[in-house]
Amino acid sequence: MAKQFDVVVIGSGPAGYHAAIRCAQLGFNTACVEKWLNKEDKTVYGGTCLNVGCIPSKALLDSSHKYLEAQKHFADHGIKTGKVELDVPTMIARKEKVVGQLTQGVAGLFKSNKVEGIAGTGKVIAKNKVEVTGHDGKTEELEAKNIIIAAGSVPIDIPPAPVDQDTIVDSTGALEFSEVPKKLGIIGAGVIGLELGSVWARLGSEVTILEALDDFLPAVDRHTAKEALKIFSKQGLDIKLGSKVTGSKVGKGAKKGVTVEYTDKDGEQKAQFDKLIVCVGRKPATANVIDDSVGLELDQRGFVKVDDNCKTNIDGIYAIGDAVRGPMLAHKGMEEGVMVAERLVDKKVQVNYDLVPSVIYTHPEVAWIGKNEDQLKEEGVEYNAGQFPFVVSGRALAAADTDGFVKLLADAKTDRVLGCQIIGPSAADLLQIVAVAMEFSTSAEDLALTMFAHPSLSEAVHEASLALHGHAIHIANRKRR
């Protein structure tokens, strides 16, 4: 006999585990199906984000930044360390420890909230039925009044560079190098490519990033993207724009490594690397999660079609996170998971898709929210812009971390804040100040009249809001007509 539940969630990534926990908190008998196994073949929760995505990459970003600081910058602070040695296996082990602590934490949250974790691969086989195939091949059926699909996403493969997880790896394999590659190639100058490139460049790799597009970071405004390109290039990332990879050949024996063929404005080119990372994007992991007989609608790219409330074309079935439209960001999926749970008890909770923060966790970080200048110009919106550089921030100077700026945009008529772009130290955290302000329809004047602690990096947000109307204190203001 099939197990009976009020809610069955497929996938325990950020979207899935948030949905499952909130459903349980609201009184629903909830199960969460997870297929992920760790290196010891034990079921672990947290999906891509906790296991091979956001968390392990940030652990390596932090470790590599500390190594670079100790190697090159501690002396500026009067700290003499002697010869700094790198121990990559220990660094990777620390990353694994962080991952283990957080995945165990999700398991603990399931237990305390009475969410039943079920190991195996879930598949929707009817309007209210999920078939689970265990790792031993045995199957069982779960019946549920509501099903939430949170299957996540997987890296996109490209024919010119087939991944073997040895010489040519995806973002998962790039977190497992046992030594620093002398020459590292990366296909894709997006968020993942820049973060992984930063990690290994700090540790000593000669990094080349091949990007097919002619524009760098097209989701960011041109001014911010230009500044980011300048900083990253200075850090040693050789970013080749307009470079389309056409083929690759993995060497053997003494010629181990990979030769990459690509075309740029000068024609056909070749490059030799010890390792190659393919990170050209991700796609929804919805294949084999929904039986065709169910009639659930998917688009051409495999995303489950949903409305603004993440409801599918079939009553009682929802989809959230990377499995549906919108940016593939953990926090977006988290909010969708909670929204769906709340809507099951008729609470009219809504995700504000206009205010999804985006961050690249390089150093400096790059973060943005709302509209950028390019978008406002295209839409014909009159706006004012205020900008403040970290180079004149007392807190940034004290920390010797002065690259970048805060840019704030507001409607020229209403003064309502329309967007913000930050490149600089702690950009992700500073952006959240503006995210909260925008959620409450704050004006630039509201921010300008708010008291900020001194000295703090957050003062850069304050000064940008002052600069928007020509009232900045610590920089010369542009003349206003």
DSSP class of 282: E
Distance CA 22, CA 9 (A): 11
CATH code 3.50.50.60 region(s) in the chain: 3-155+283-354, 168-280
Instruction: Tell me the pairing of strands 317-319 and 275-278.
Output: unpaired
Of the candidates 65, 77, 454, 471, the residue annotated as catalytic is: 454
3-state helix, strand, coil in the chain (%, to 5): 35, 25, 40
Average pLDDT over residues 171-185: 97
Cis amide linkage into residue 389, ω under 30° from 0: no
Question: Does the pLDDT of residue 82 top 90, yes or no?
Answer: no
Where would I find the H helices in 247-293? none
Average predicted confidence (pLDDT) for the chain: 97
- In this prediction, residue 252 carries a pLDDT of 86
- In this prediction, residue 1 carries a pLDDT of 77
pLDDT digits (tens, 9 = 90+) for 125-161: 999 999 999 999 999 999 999 999 999 999 999 999 9
Distance CA 237, CA 271 (A): 15
Average pLDDT over residues 411-432: 98
Average pLDDT over residues 16-33: 98
Per the listing, tokens 């305390």 go with: 112
Burial of 446 (0-12, 13-18, 19+ CB in 10 A): middle
What are the distances in angstroms from CA 382 to CA 218, 439, 440, 446? 22, 21, 21, 19
CB atoms within 10 A of CB 150: 35
- In this prediction, residue 479 carries a pLDDT of 62
Per the listing, tokens 């891509």 go with: 48
Question: Does the pLDDT of residue 318 top 70, yes or no?
Answer: yes
CATH 3.30.390.30 fits 364-467, yes or no: yes
Q: What are the tokens at 176?
A: 């497992």
What is the CATH class of 3-155+283-354? alpha beta
Task: Report residue 225's pLDDT band, with 50, 70 and 90 as the boundaries.
Answer: very high
Cβ(281)–Cβ(156) under 8 Å? Answer: yes
Cβ(142)–Cβ(8) under 8 Å? Answer: yes
Catalytic residue flag (residue 77): no
Question: Taking Cα atoms as reference points, which of 296, 294, 295, 293 lies closest to residue 304?
Answer: 296
Distance CA 314, CA 306 (A): 10
CATH code 3.30.390.30 region(s) in the chain: 364-467
Question: Does the pLDDT of residue 481 top 50, yes or no?
Answer: no
The number of helix segments (H) and strand segments (E) in the chain equals 12, 22
DSSP class of 106: H
Q: Which of 107-116, 166-175, 253-262, 454-463 has the lowest mean pLDDT?
A: 253-262
Cβ(438)–Cβ(391) under 8 Å? Answer: no
Question: Taking Cα atoms as reference points, which of 176, 183, 13, 36 lies closest to residue 106?
Answer: 13
The model scores a pTM over 0.75: yes
Superfamily of domain 168-280: FAD/NAD(P)-binding domain (3.50.50.60)
DSSP class of 298: B
Question: Does the pLDDT of residue 206 top 80, yes or no?
Answer: yes
DSSP string for 1-51:
--EEEEEEEE--SHHHHHHHHHHHHTT--EEEEE--B-TTS-B--SHHHHH
pLDDT digits (tens, 9 = 90+) for 349-397: 999 999 999 999 999 999 999 999 999 999 999 999 999 999 999 999 9
Task: Report residue 190's pLDDT band, with 50, 70 and 90 as the boundaries.
Answer: very high
pLDDT digits (tens, 9 = 90+) for 229-250: 999 999 999 999 999 999 999 9
